[in-house]
A and B are shown apart, each in its own frame.
Chain A
Amino acid sequence: MVKSNYIIEINNITKSFPDKVVLDDVSLSVKKGEFLTILGPSGCGKTTLLRLLAGFNTATKGEIRIDGEVMTDIPPHKRPVNTVFQRYALFPNYNVFDNIAFGLKLQKVDKREIEQRVKRALKMVGMTDYEHRDVQSLSGGQQQRVAIARAIVNRPQVLLLDEPLAALDLKMRKDMQMELKEMHRSLGITFVYVTHDQEEALTLSDTIVVMNEGKIQQIGTPTDIYNEPCNAFVADFIGESNILNATMVRDRLVSFMGREFECIDEGFGENTPVDVVIRPEDVYIIGNAEAAMFRGVVRSCIFKGVHYEMFVDTPDGYEIQIQDYNCFEPGQEVGMMIKPADIHVMRKERTENHVVGKVIDATHVELLGETFECAEHDLAAGSEVDVAFDFSAVELTDDPDDGVSWGTIRFILYKGDRYHLTVRTDEGENVFVDTHDVWEDLDEVGIKIAPSELHISPIAK
């Protein structure tokens, strides 16, 4: 039997709870000795994925292999993994030594060896001479060190870390990050690390897996993920960015903010709608020089320690975020420049809304669980149809009852001159909305669509 060089193989895992699908057909392979980070906002399914690896939950569908062996029916205590928990989970009835020795004692390791290994583990986490301390007398950082020692002392093949630094203060977190990286290097085992902190992920990992809504969005090295985000969600979640609607005029030429820019991307076709991502540090302010590609007026300028963060308004109504070492006063007119290599072009996931509806009569159609008025058509009542409408055709109302249907705002993406919202209806359908109004995440809104904006076509069988 040939063993692959993947220590963990996750194949088509789906995990659903009675009211919700938490993981939706996730596949992922982890190389031996890799530091892999699963990154995503809260509720994206990252912790569930880790718990499936540890064996605390079982998947609804799919298969997990660790070191080639199928883990489906193997209980947590027989798996070659150990976990570091977010809230430490140290046993309060044991002291530091007995906490760390817990796993070794269960394996009936020789007493002298236990003592040696515990001492070595303590040294590794910088807690020498703490053996006999009561765990509850330790600070948060010290408790997490003990928790890490308790896991690595068993020499697992994979160490699972569930937001281990989330409960620590910033300074302690930075120190621990460095130590974890060092530990990973010297132990040579595989780390699977779960976090919602993108900076932490970029600092620590060999590979980052970005997740959202139970799906993997992108897998790649930190530089890949940062420089080449594959969609607007990743671009928005990792670091600061300007995400703008654009049109790919032809290869190496993209148009946005009312003018054309040279870029280095190819293969999108001609006149294709795309998104462009420009990192704030990649927009250069060049005073008022002639070389400026476009101009704008500084609206605000805030000192951020190393750099200044500025928001600049362009004459065509776009707002650009810029990071620069120099400060430009608000009100000042500046010229800006973007290098071709710094413009990252992404294929749009969608250009308009498409939902499945049902014809009620000549002027009404059922979609999003409600009956909407539409332009007159001659399709048979009761037939299933595809209903298309523009992002900007949707009108949102403050009071959910004022709309024909209603939903909850789940994701907000700022596009420089407008907001692109994802509104999830009661039935779990997503409606994408372009608007200039400011809404907040999880706002409940009513949904209205003008009859003339609904484009109905029969579904081809």
Chain B
Amino acid sequence: MRSNIIKFFSRRRSWTLPYVLFLAVFVVMPLVLIMVYAFQAKDGGLSLENFERFINQPEAANTFIYSIGIALITTIICIVLGYPAAYILSRMKLSTARVVVMLFILPMWINVLVRTLATVALFDFLTLPLGEGALIFGMVYNFLPFMVYPIYNVLQKMDHSLIEAAEDLGATPRQVFTRVVFPLSMPGIVSGVMMVFMPTISTFAISELLTMNNIKLFGTTIQENINNGMWHYGAALSLIMLVIIGITSLFTDSSSEDAANDGGLL
């Protein structure tokens, strides 16, 4: 018996047990519960009435489409701002670049709510109106580093002789960028998009604070339903969001493997 215990703990596989338990209780169980609740009517019987309600009542569906729109705009702005920043960083001396990257990441150590409240205070101070503009500003501000870092990582690791080879074969600086540097940095962009687009769909704190609750994003809708005791409908909405995110990540799947290797955030 004693030797069995020793054997059990000396196997490396056994050491993963705590984490497996944690996963089962806090990740797998909730997912199963969401599935169960989503397909249950209020009386507890199996039904699709929650999904019918999503389709028949345009309010939630509209919020959903609006959220995707906001997420798309945020992601595009992040790419437009983040790519040049990452490119310039990758050209700097490594020691300088490290410091600047640190400055980019530093605000991320502060809680998102604190940062967003500070943004609200800033808008107040500058007497700028809160609303859609403020919302997009807040989203970009919060998620930009997640776009810059993976792109920077890929660009910085890029073999410089590839750029020289392209120049050598007759490419102008512009052609070097469009034909070699940009295509090769795709894994970083994909990684960045996954880090920005997906979380922005489900944010609710930023939208609540920066629009004084005037604009509802999908995350807010889910939160409201669940707060108001409509667990079944809230679960169905969560499931719909999960499925859509799942589908978008399938599109990027082929390159996301490279992205995880080359552009990984950590």
Contacts and interface: CB of A to CB of B under 8 A. Distances in A.
Contacts of A103: 169-170
A132 to B, nearest CB: 18
Contacts of A78: 170
Contact of B170 (A56, A85, A107): A107
Contacts of B248: none
Interface in B129-185: 159, 161-162, 164-172, 175, 179-180, 183-184
A78 B168 CA distance: 8
A101 to B, nearest CB: 10
Contact of A83 (B165, B171, B184): B165
Interface string A96-128: 000000110011000000000000000000000
Interface string B238-259: 0000000000000000000000
A339 interface: no
A91 B161 contact: no
B184 A76 contact: no
A75 interface: yes
B175 A93 contact: no
Interface string B192-228: 0000000000000000000000000000000000000
Contacts, number: 58
B164 A56 contact: yes
Contacts of A75: 167
Contacts of B161: 85, 87, 89
- The bracket for how many chain B residues form the interface is 10 to 19
B18 to A, nearest CB: 39
A85 B171 contact: no
B170 A106 contact: yes
A184 B202 CA distance: 63
A82 interface: yes
A151 B184 CA distance: 21
Contacts of B184: 91-93
A150 B169 contact: yes
A377 to B, nearest CB: 51
Contacts of A90: 165
A76 B167 contact: yes
Given A106-B169, A106-B171, A154-B170, A85 B164 contact: yes
A103 B161 CA distance: 16
A106 B175 contact: yes
A77 B170 contact: yes
Interface in A35-83: 54-56, 75-78, 81-83
Nearest to A83: B168
A89 to B, nearest CB: 4
A76 B161 CA distance: 13
A91 B167 contact: no
Contacts of B159: 87, 89
A83 B166 CA distance: 10
Given A77-B172, A106-B175, A89 B167 contact: no
B170 A83 contact: no
A89 B166 CA distance: 9
Contacts of B164: 54, 56, 76, 83, 85, 89
Nearest to B182: A93
Interface in B35-84: none
Given A82-B169, A83-B168, A102-B171, 6 more contacts: A54-B164, A56-B167, A77-B170, A85-B165, A93-B183, A151-B168
Interface of A: 54-56, 75-78, 81-83, 85, 87, 89-93, 102-103, 106-107, 150-151, 154
Interface of B: 159, 161-162, 164-172, 175, 179-180, 183-184
What 5 A-B pairs are tightest by C-beta distance, nearest first? Answer: A103-B169, A89-B161, A89-B165, A76-B167, A93-B183
8 contacts: A77-B167, A82-B168, A83-B164, A83-B168, A102-B171, A106-B171, A150-B169, A154-B170
